Structure 1
Amino acid sequence: MRLMIVLLLGACALAGLQTWRIGGLTDDVEQAQRIIGTLSAGIESRDNAINRLNDEAVTRERQEQSLRTQLARASQQARDREYDIQRLLNENQEMRDWYSARLPDGIGRMHARPAFASAADYLRWLSDGDELPDPGKLTRH
Protein backbone atom coordinates (compact mmCIF):
# COMPACT_ATOMS: atom_id res chain seq x y z
CA MET A 1 0.00 0.00 0.00
CA ARG A 2 2.84 2.30 0.75
CA LEU A 3 4.28 1.60 -2.60
CA MET A 4 1.06 2.66 -4.22
CA ILE A 5 0.91 5.87 -2.28
CA VAL A 6 4.52 6.63 -3.22
CA LEU A 7 3.76 5.84 -6.85
CA LEU A 8 0.61 7.95 -6.69
CA LEU A 9 2.50 10.87 -5.13
CA GLY A 10 5.23 10.48 -7.75
CA ALA A 11 2.63 10.52 -10.53
CA CYS A 12 1.03 13.65 -9.00
CA ALA A 13 4.44 15.32 -8.75
CA LEU A 14 5.17 14.41 -12.36
CA ALA A 15 1.78 15.74 -13.47
CA GLY A 16 2.43 18.99 -11.54
CA LEU A 17 5.87 19.31 -13.15
CA GLN A 18 4.40 18.75 -16.59
CA THR A 19 1.66 21.32 -15.91
CA TRP A 20 4.30 23.84 -14.84
CA ARG A 21 6.37 23.15 -18.01
CA ILE A 22 3.27 23.46 -20.20
CA GLY A 23 2.50 26.84 -18.58
CA GLY A 24 6.03 28.02 -19.37
CA LEU A 25 5.73 26.80 -22.93
CA THR A 26 2.41 28.62 -23.27
CA ASP A 27 4.12 31.85 -22.22
CA ASP A 28 6.88 31.18 -24.75
CA VAL A 29 4.30 30.55 -27.49
CA GLU A 30 2.48 33.81 -26.66
CA GLN A 31 5.75 35.73 -26.70
CA ALA A 32 6.67 34.13 -30.04
CA GLN A 33 3.25 35.06 -31.43
CA ARG A 34 3.76 38.70 -30.34
CA ILE A 35 7.18 38.72 -32.02
CA ILE A 36 5.68 37.18 -35.17
CA GLY A 37 2.94 39.86 -35.15
CA THR A 38 5.52 42.64 -34.82
CA LEU A 39 7.68 41.17 -37.57
CA SER A 40 4.65 40.67 -39.82
CA ALA A 41 3.67 44.32 -39.35
CA GLY A 42 7.24 45.36 -40.18
CA ILE A 43 7.24 43.20 -43.30
CA GLU A 44 3.86 44.59 -44.38
CA SER A 45 5.12 48.14 -43.85
CA ARG A 46 8.25 47.37 -45.87
CA ASP A 47 6.19 45.81 -48.67
CA ASN A 48 3.92 48.88 -48.76
CA ALA A 49 6.97 51.16 -48.99
CA ILE A 50 8.43 49.03 -51.80
CA ASN A 51 5.14 49.12 -53.71
CA ARG A 52 4.87 52.90 -53.26
CA LEU A 53 8.46 53.39 -54.46
CA ASN A 54 7.82 51.14 -57.47
CA ASP A 55 4.71 53.14 -58.34
CA GLU A 56 6.67 56.39 -58.03
CA ALA A 57 9.43 54.99 -60.25
CA VAL A 58 6.90 54.03 -62.93
CA THR A 59 5.33 57.50 -62.72
CA ARG A 60 8.74 59.17 -63.03
CA GLU A 61 9.63 56.98 -66.01
CA ARG A 62 6.39 58.06 -67.73
CA GLN A 63 7.09 61.71 -66.94
CA GLU A 64 10.64 61.37 -68.23
CA GLN A 65 9.41 59.80 -71.45
CA SER A 66 6.87 62.61 -71.85
CA LEU A 67 9.59 65.22 -71.33
CA ARG A 68 11.86 63.49 -73.82
CA THR A 69 9.04 63.52 -76.37
CA GLN A 70 8.43 67.22 -75.73
CA LEU A 71 12.15 67.92 -76.03
CA ALA A 72 12.35 66.06 -79.33
CA ARG A 73 9.32 67.99 -80.62
CA ALA A 74 10.81 71.32 -79.48
CA SER A 75 14.16 70.44 -81.08
CA GLN A 76 12.44 69.63 -84.36
CA GLN A 77 10.52 72.91 -84.23
CA ALA A 78 13.76 74.82 -83.56
CA ARG A 79 15.44 73.09 -86.52
CA ASP A 80 12.45 73.89 -88.73
CA ARG A 81 12.47 77.52 -87.59
CA GLU A 82 16.21 77.81 -88.22
CA TYR A 83 15.76 76.26 -91.65
CA ASP A 84 12.98 78.75 -92.46
CA ILE A 85 15.09 81.70 -91.30
CA GLN A 86 18.04 80.53 -93.34
CA ARG A 87 15.83 80.02 -96.38
CA LEU A 88 14.34 83.51 -96.01
CA LEU A 89 17.80 85.04 -95.58
CA ASN A 90 19.04 83.30 -98.71
CA GLU A 91 16.02 84.44 -100.73
CA ASN A 92 15.64 88.06 -99.66
CA GLN A 93 18.29 90.81 -99.51
CA GLU A 94 16.07 93.04 -97.38
CA MET A 95 15.72 90.22 -94.83
CA ARG A 96 19.51 89.69 -94.79
CA ASP A 97 20.05 93.40 -94.11
CA TRP A 98 17.48 93.40 -91.29
CA TYR A 99 18.95 90.22 -89.78
CA SER A 100 22.51 91.57 -89.76
CA ALA A 101 21.56 95.03 -88.43
CA ARG A 102 22.68 96.01 -84.92
CA LEU A 103 20.03 95.84 -82.20
CA PRO A 104 18.93 99.07 -80.50
CA ASP A 105 20.84 99.83 -77.28
CA GLY A 106 17.94 99.04 -74.94
CA ILE A 107 17.40 95.62 -76.47
CA GLY A 108 21.13 94.96 -76.56
CA ARG A 109 21.32 95.65 -72.82
CA MET A 110 18.46 93.21 -72.25
CA HIS A 111 20.49 90.45 -73.89
CA ALA A 112 23.72 91.21 -71.99
CA ARG A 113 23.96 89.04 -68.89
CA PRO A 114 26.85 88.33 -66.56
CA ALA A 115 27.72 84.80 -65.44
CA PHE A 116 25.77 83.73 -62.35
CA ALA A 117 26.94 81.40 -59.60
CA SER A 118 23.45 80.69 -58.29
CA ALA A 119 19.77 81.33 -58.85
CA ALA A 120 19.86 83.91 -56.05
CA ASP A 121 22.53 85.87 -57.96
CA TYR A 122 20.33 85.82 -61.05
CA LEU A 123 17.28 87.03 -59.10
CA ARG A 124 19.35 89.80 -57.48
CA TRP A 125 20.60 90.84 -60.92
CA LEU A 126 17.04 90.91 -62.25
CA SER A 127 15.79 93.11 -59.41
CA ASP A 128 18.77 95.48 -59.67
CA GLY A 129 18.41 95.87 -63.44
CA ASP A 130 17.69 99.10 -65.25
CA GLU A 131 14.13 99.75 -66.22
CA LEU A 132 13.37 99.93 -69.91
CA PRO A 133 12.17 103.28 -71.19
CA ASP A 134 8.45 103.73 -71.73
CA PRO A 135 7.92 103.56 -75.51
CA GLY A 136 5.09 106.11 -75.24
CA LYS A 137 7.35 108.78 -73.72
CA LEU A 138 10.20 110.62 -75.35
CA THR A 139 13.69 109.99 -74.00
CA ARG A 140 16.63 112.39 -73.82
CA HIS A 141 18.97 110.63 -76.28
Structure 2
Amino acid sequence: MRIVIVLLLVACALAGLQTWRIDGLTEKADQAQRIIGTLSAGIESRDNAINRLSNEAVTRERQEQSLRTQLSKAGDHARIREIHIQRLLNENQEMRDWYGARLPDGISRMHQRPAFASAADYLRWLSGGNELPDTGKLTDY
Protein backbone atom coordinates (compact mmCIF):
# COMPACT_ATOMS: atom_id res chain seq x y z
CA MET A 1 0.00 0.00 0.00
CA ARG A 2 2.80 2.35 0.73
CA ILE A 3 4.19 1.74 -2.69
CA VAL A 4 0.84 2.59 -4.23
CA ILE A 5 0.68 5.80 -2.18
CA VAL A 6 4.26 6.71 -3.11
CA LEU A 7 3.49 5.94 -6.75
CA LEU A 8 0.35 8.07 -6.51
CA LEU A 9 2.31 10.91 -4.96
CA VAL A 10 4.99 10.60 -7.63
CA ALA A 11 2.28 10.52 -10.32
CA CYS A 12 0.65 13.62 -8.79
CA ALA A 13 4.02 15.35 -8.62
CA LEU A 14 4.71 14.45 -12.25
CA ALA A 15 1.22 15.65 -13.24
CA GLY A 16 1.80 18.90 -11.35
CA LEU A 17 5.18 19.28 -13.00
CA GLN A 18 3.65 18.66 -16.44
CA THR A 19 0.86 21.16 -15.66
CA TRP A 20 3.47 23.73 -14.64
CA ARG A 21 5.45 23.09 -17.86
CA ILE A 22 2.27 23.31 -19.94
CA ASP A 23 1.38 26.64 -18.29
CA GLY A 24 4.89 27.93 -19.07
CA LEU A 25 4.60 26.80 -22.67
CA THR A 26 1.13 28.35 -22.95
CA GLU A 27 2.53 31.64 -21.66
CA LYS A 28 5.40 31.46 -24.15
CA ALA A 29 2.92 30.70 -26.95
CA ASP A 30 0.80 33.71 -25.93
CA GLN A 31 3.90 35.89 -25.86
CA ALA A 32 4.90 34.56 -29.30
CA GLN A 33 1.38 35.37 -30.59
CA ARG A 34 1.70 38.93 -29.27
CA ILE A 35 5.10 39.28 -30.96
CA ILE A 36 3.67 37.87 -34.21
CA GLY A 37 0.77 40.35 -34.00
CA THR A 38 3.16 43.25 -33.42
CA LEU A 39 5.40 42.15 -36.29
CA SER A 40 2.39 41.64 -38.57
CA ALA A 41 1.18 45.15 -37.78
CA GLY A 42 4.67 46.49 -38.48
CA ILE A 43 4.83 44.62 -41.79
CA GLU A 44 1.37 45.87 -42.75
CA SER A 45 2.38 49.43 -41.86
CA ARG A 46 5.57 49.07 -43.91
CA ASP A 47 3.63 47.65 -46.86
CA ASN A 48 1.15 50.55 -46.67
CA ALA A 49 4.04 53.02 -46.61
CA ILE A 50 5.68 51.31 -49.59
CA ASN A 51 2.40 51.39 -51.53
CA ARG A 52 1.82 55.04 -50.66
CA LEU A 53 5.36 56.00 -51.69
CA SER A 54 5.03 54.00 -54.89
CA ASN A 55 1.78 55.76 -55.74
CA GLU A 56 3.35 59.13 -54.98
CA ALA A 57 6.31 58.28 -57.23
CA VAL A 58 3.95 57.37 -60.08
CA THR A 59 2.00 60.60 -59.55
CA ARG A 60 5.21 62.64 -59.54
CA GLU A 61 6.39 60.93 -62.73
CA ARG A 62 3.11 61.82 -64.41
CA GLN A 63 3.35 65.41 -63.18
CA GLU A 64 6.95 65.63 -64.38
CA GLN A 65 5.95 64.31 -67.79
CA SER A 66 3.12 66.84 -67.94
CA LEU A 67 5.51 69.65 -67.03
CA ARG A 68 8.00 68.48 -69.65
CA THR A 69 5.22 68.50 -72.24
CA GLN A 70 4.15 71.98 -71.18
CA LEU A 71 7.77 73.16 -71.33
CA SER A 72 8.14 71.72 -74.81
CA LYS A 73 4.93 73.44 -75.94
CA ALA A 74 6.06 76.73 -74.39
CA GLY A 75 9.39 76.42 -76.21
CA ASP A 76 7.56 75.78 -79.49
CA HIS A 77 5.35 78.82 -78.91
CA ALA A 78 8.39 80.96 -78.10
CA ARG A 79 10.14 79.83 -81.28
CA ILE A 80 7.03 80.56 -83.35
CA ARG A 81 6.74 83.99 -81.72
CA GLU A 82 10.40 84.77 -82.39
CA ILE A 83 10.04 83.71 -86.02
CA HIS A 84 6.94 85.90 -86.35
CA ILE A 85 8.72 88.89 -84.78
CA GLN A 86 11.72 88.37 -87.04
CA ARG A 87 9.45 88.17 -90.09
CA LEU A 88 7.73 91.43 -89.07
CA LEU A 89 11.07 93.13 -88.51
CA ASN A 90 12.32 91.99 -91.89
CA GLU A 91 9.19 93.25 -93.63
CA ASN A 92 8.63 96.62 -91.97
CA GLN A 93 11.13 99.48 -91.45
CA GLU A 94 8.81 101.22 -88.98
CA MET A 95 8.67 98.02 -86.89
CA ARG A 96 12.48 97.75 -86.96
CA ASP A 97 12.78 101.34 -85.71
CA TRP A 98 10.27 100.74 -82.93
CA TYR A 99 11.94 97.45 -81.96
CA GLY A 100 15.37 99.07 -81.82
CA ALA A 101 14.26 102.15 -79.85
CA ARG A 102 15.42 102.68 -76.28
CA LEU A 103 12.91 101.81 -73.56
CA PRO A 104 11.77 104.47 -71.06
CA ASP A 105 13.85 104.61 -67.87
CA GLY A 106 11.10 103.16 -65.66
CA ILE A 107 10.72 100.16 -67.95
CA SER A 108 14.49 99.70 -68.21
CA ARG A 109 14.77 99.62 -64.42
CA MET A 110 12.12 96.89 -64.31
CA HIS A 111 14.36 94.71 -66.48
CA GLN A 112 17.45 95.26 -64.32
CA ARG A 113 18.20 93.11 -61.33
CA PRO A 114 21.39 92.09 -59.55
CA ALA A 115 22.76 88.57 -59.39
CA PHE A 116 21.29 86.60 -56.49
CA ALA A 117 23.03 83.96 -54.40
CA SER A 118 19.80 82.41 -53.15
CA ALA A 119 16.04 82.55 -53.39
CA ALA A 120 15.95 84.43 -50.08
CA ASP A 121 18.13 87.19 -51.60
CA TYR A 122 15.73 87.42 -54.53
CA LEU A 123 12.72 87.69 -52.19
CA ARG A 124 14.47 90.40 -50.18
CA TRP A 125 15.18 92.29 -53.40
CA LEU A 126 11.55 91.91 -54.53
CA SER A 127 10.19 93.27 -51.27
CA GLY A 128 12.65 96.18 -51.39
CA GLY A 129 11.69 99.68 -52.49
CA ASN A 130 12.11 99.39 -56.27
CA GLU A 131 9.41 101.89 -57.06
CA LEU A 132 8.20 102.68 -60.55
CA PRO A 133 7.86 106.30 -61.64
CA ASP A 134 4.55 108.10 -61.37
CA THR A 135 2.52 107.23 -64.46
CA GLY A 136 1.00 110.71 -64.54
CA LYS A 137 4.40 112.24 -65.25
CA LEU A 138 6.16 111.99 -68.57
CA THR A 139 9.50 110.23 -68.55
CA ASP A 140 12.53 111.23 -70.59
CA TYR A 141 13.57 108.87 -73.37
Q: What pairs with 1:113-132 in structure 2 (closer than 5 Å)?
A: 113-132=113-132
CA, structure 1 residues 17+126, in 2 after alignment: closer, same or farther (shift >3 Å)?
closer
- Find the aligned partners of 1:140 and 1:114 in 2 and give their Cα distance: 24
- Tell me by how many angstroms 1:140 deviates: 8.8
Structure 1 residue 7 corresponds to structure 2 residue 7: yes
Higher relative contact order (CA 8 A, sep 6+): 2
Q: Deviations over 1:117-140 (max 9, x none)?
A: 223322332333442223334569
- Aligned-partner Cα distance in 1 for 2:140–2:103: 19
1:73 positional shift: 0.7
Q: Displacement, 1:80?
A: 0.4
The aligned residue for residue 112 of structure 1 is 112
Percent identity, aligned pairs only, is 82
In structure 1, runs of 5+ residues without a counterpart are: none
Q: Is residue 54 from structure 1 mapped to residue 54 from structure 2 by the alignment?
A: yes
Distance, in Å, in 1 between the alignment partners of 2:140 and 2:39 is 80
- Structure 2 portions without partners, runs of 5+: none
> 2:28 corresponds to which letter in structure 1?
D
Equivalences, count:
141
- Cα distance change on mapping 1:23 and 1:96 into 2, 3 Å: same
Q: TM-score, normalised by structure 2?
A: 0.88
Q: Hey, what's the Cα distance between the residues in 1 that align with 2:11 and 2:37?
A: 38
Q: Does 1:71 align with 2:76?
A: no
